[in-house]
């Protein structure tokens, strides 16, 4: 079976996907400033601190850094979802890797094309991550919840047609404490001009998302896997 070059239409469609992945969504990377709570005890200097000073301390963040995205999904899963792709993947450039990291895998095997992106986004608080999650869900209406994944998870599948070529894309968004995991998985068949089934793409995206959430949990509050 000979390989077929990507049609110009699909290449044009994928270009903004890469640009968006590189640019990333706007995330605030600076920690919220907070003054330490005053304590009612002697300071060792003349006078004492006021016992009535209000506490302005904030809750500690569960995740302080995004984990390495290219090792967040197992090699067997990559081989299954993106046949012919290098399992090492390619990390997309980020302006601040402590808050956002993305890895991408794509390959054309015969006439079948597959693309997978896995992103981690770390927010300053659970509340901000929850607002970002709700915003993503609102933008991609028509999907459904994914039970048993993170604090909240949502998946949606869409079909697009350009120059008679169909492409189906599944997206899964997961919130886990103050972090988001976003998985995008799409595919096309250039011989039949059809697209993989919704079930295939949705299940593949959910599988990758579950493994990515597990990697986030393994990284813990430092954003790095335990030694």
Give the model confidence (pLDDT) of 122-171 as tens digits: 999 999 999 999 999 999 889 999 999 999 999 999 999 999 999 999 99
Q: Are 147 and 155 in contact (CB under 8 A)?
A: no
Q: Is 2 in a helix, a strand, or coil?
A: coil
Token pair, residue 189, equals 């068949």
On whether the pTM is more than 0.85, the answer is: no
Residue 158 belongs to a domain with what CATH number?
2.60.120
Does residue 130 lie within any of the structural domains?
yes
Q: Is 143 in a helix, a strand, or coil?
A: coil
Q: What is the mean pLDDT of residues 33-37?
A: 39
Token pair, residue 11, equals 């290449």
Does residue 32 lie within any of the structural domains?
no
pLDDT in tens, 177-190: 999 999 999 999 99
Q: What is the pLDDT of residue 6?
A: 55
State the chain's mean pLDDT as an integer: 80
CA distances from 79 to 41, 74, 106, 121, 122 (A): 61, 9, 11, 25, 28
Residue with tokens 């999904």: 73
Residues 6+ apart with CB under 8 A from 139: none
Domain span at residue 183? 8-21+62-192
pLDDT in tens, 41-90: 433 333 443 444 444 445 678 999 999 999 999 999 999 999 999 999 99
Helices (H), the chain: 8-23, 75-81, 126-139, 198-219
Cα–Cα distance measured from residue 84 to residue 78, given in angstroms and rounded to the nearest whole number: 9
Q: Are 63 and 223 in contact (CB under 8 A)?
A: yes
* E strands, the chain, in order: 90-92, 100-109, 112-122, 144-145, 152-162, 165-176, 179-189
Q: Quote the number of domains for the chain.
A: 1
Does residue 211 lie within any of the structural domains?
no
Does residue 166 lie within any of the structural domains?
yes
**Could you give phi then psi for residue 22, rounded to 5 degrees?**
-70, -40
Q: What is the pLDDT of residue 9?
A: 45
Residues 6+ apart with CB under 8 A from 41: 48, 49
Token pair, residue 116, equals 């997978």
Q: What is the pLDDT of residue 192?
A: 96
Q: What is the mean pLDDT of residues 87-102?
A: 93
Does residue 80 lie within any of the structural domains?
yes
Does residue 226 lie within any of the structural domains?
no
Does residue 103 lie within any of the structural domains?
yes
């Amino acid at each position: 079976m000979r390989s077929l070059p990507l049609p110009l239409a699909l290449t044009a469609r994928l270009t903004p996907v890469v640009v968006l992945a590189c640019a990333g969504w706007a995330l605030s990377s600076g920690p919220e400033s907070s003054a330490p709570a005053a304590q009612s005890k002697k300071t060792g200097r003349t006078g004492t601190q006021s016992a009535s000073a209000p506490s302005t301390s904030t809750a500690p963040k569960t995740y302080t850094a995004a984990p390495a995205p290219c090792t967040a999904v197992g090699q067997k899963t990559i081989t299954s979802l993106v046949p012919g792709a290098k399992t090492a993947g390619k990390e997309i450039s980020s302006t601040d890797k402590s808050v956002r990291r993305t890895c991408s895998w794509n390959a054309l095997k015969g006439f079948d094309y597959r693309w997978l992106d896995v992103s981690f986004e770390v927010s300053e608080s659970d509340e901000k991550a929850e607002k970002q999650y709700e915003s993503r869900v609102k933008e991609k209406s028509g999907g459904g919840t994914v039970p048993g994944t993170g604090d909240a998870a949502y998946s949606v599948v869409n079909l697009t047609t350009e120059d008679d070529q169909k492409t189906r894309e599944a997206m899964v968004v997961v919130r886990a404490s103050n972090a988001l995991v976003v998985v995008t998985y799409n595919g096309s068949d250039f011989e039949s001009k059809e697209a993989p089934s919704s079930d295939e793409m949705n299940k593949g995206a959910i599988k990758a998302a579950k493994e990515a959430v597990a990697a986030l949990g393994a990284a813990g509050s430092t954003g790095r896997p335990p030694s």
